[in-house]
C-alpha cells in the first residue's frame, strides 16, 4: 500500500518539483510526505473495515503486540518507506525509517545523500503508523 501510494503522490508532483525554485523543493517534498501519510492512513483504515484480524492472527501475538494493536490497529500495517523520483531536472528523495538511500557513481564511489539517521536506536524505527510520521520523513534533492 505504501509503495503504491508514494508512487502516485510523487508522480503527481513531478511537474511542481522540477519547476520549483531550489529553496522551495524541500517544502514540496515535505508536503508530498504529508500527503503520503494521510492517504496511507485512510487506505489502511478502509482496509481494516473489511478485513478484521482473525483469532489465529491475534493469538499469535505477544501481550504487548495485542495491546499495541488494541490501542491503534495501524501498527499491524506499519511500514518504512524509501522513495526516489529521477528526472532530467534532478533527483528527489524521501525516506522514513531505517534503510538507506545510496547513490553510486560510475567510478564506484558511494554516498548516502541524507547521511545516517542518528535517531534510530536498536530495533526502533520511524514508521507510517506512528502519529508523527509526517515529521519523521527525511527529504532531499540533487539537481
State the pLDDT at residue 68: 87
**Consecutive H or E run containing 39:** helix 25-50
Instruction: Return the bridge partners of 81, or none.
Output: 96
State the pLDDT at residue 119: 77
Q: What is the mean pLDDT of each run of 10 residues along the chain (143 residues)?
A: 97 95 95 98 96 93 92 93 94 93 96 84 84 94 89
CA 71 distance to own-chain centroid: 22
State the pLDDT at residue 117: 81
State the pLDDT at residue 122: 66
Checking DSSP bridges between strand 138-142 and strand 103-104, what pairing results, if any? unpaired
Amino acid at each position: 500500500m505504501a509503495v503504491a501510494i508514494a508512487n502516485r503522490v510523487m508522480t503527481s508532483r513531478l511537474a511542481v518539483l522540477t519547476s520549483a525554485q531550489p529553496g522551495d523543493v524541500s517544502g514540496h517534498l515535505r508536503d508530498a510526505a504529508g500527503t503520503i501519510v494521510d492517504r496511507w492512513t485512510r487506505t489502511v483504515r478502509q482496509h481494516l473495515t473489511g478485513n478484521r484480524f482473525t483469532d489465529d492472527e491475534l493469538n499469535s501475538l505477544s501481550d504487548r503486540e495485542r495491546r499495541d494493536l488494541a490501542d491503534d490497529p495501524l501498527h499491524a500495517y506499519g511500514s518504512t518507506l524509501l522513495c526516489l523520483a529521477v528526472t532530467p531536472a534532478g533527483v528527489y528523495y524521501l525516506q522514513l525509517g531505517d534503510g538507506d538511500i545510496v547513490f553510486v557513481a560510475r567510478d564506484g564511489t558511494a554516498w548516502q545523500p541524507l547521511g545516517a539517521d542518528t535517531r534510530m536506536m536498536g530495533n526502533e524505527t520511524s514508521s507510517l503508523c506512528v502519529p508523527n510520521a509526517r515529521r519523521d520523513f527525511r527529504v532531499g534533492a540533487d539537481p
